[in-house]
Amino acid sequence: MSFTLAKTERLAAILAQAPVIPVLTFDDAASGVATAKALRDGGLPVLEVTLRTPKSLEALQAIVSEVEGVTIGAGTVLETEHVQAAIQAGAEFLVSPGVSSRLIAAGSEAPVPFLPGVATASEAMQLAERGANFAKFFPAGPAGGPAYLKALLAPLPNLHFVPTGGVDLANAPSYLALKNVVSVGGSWVAPADLIARGDWAGITALAREASKLKAR
């Protein structure tokens, strides 16, 4: 299956909303709602809720129902079953750390945009052959960082990336300066210790700082 123009355009619009997409993991719905509000108030309206905990889908659904002004995606989509479960919970886009033939088929057929993950030129080429214009670059730091993405620009000029994994406030500008990077993903804007303490003002402050970063 290939990636359709309509969903590609929708994904482009989502990724253009902010330079940083918070990558979030929740153990309960209440902390998910409070964190989402704090990030939104700090200027980061696009959120990725990872499917890594038993309460992740519950948290995602609660955010969709209770928090206005945000766009919620489901991250760590690893199985075809995750695709349907995330959509039923209200996810507006899907993100995977890597790709498989089954997952590409399920993701490209889903009614919401799909951001598949790559770590190598070969994986990126496979997505480009299927018509993908966007990919998650993961794990960005260990996989080669900004220099690696810069090297991919010439052979794959139509593929744009969202680097995630080892991205923080210090190195995010190096990624965002690249022509083939549209935004970055990171957990530094909502660290686990601030969520555990309920320091929503602290998270808003981190989000506000990150929202001032500029993509090329």
Give 5-211's CATH code, choosing from 3.40.1190.20, 3.40.710.10, 3.20.20.70, 3.90.1150.10. Answer: 3.20.20.70
Which pLDDT score is estimated for 214?
87
DSSP string covering 1-36: ----HHHHHHHHHHHTT-SEEEEE--SSHHHHHHHH
Residue positions annotated with a catalytic role: 48, 136
Could you tell me the residue ranges of all domains in the chain? 5-211
Which pLDDT score is estimated for 49?
98
Which pLDDT score is estimated for 196?
96
Which pLDDT score is estimated for 1?
58
Which pLDDT score is estimated for 168?
97
What residues in the chain have per-residue pLDDT under 70?
A: 1
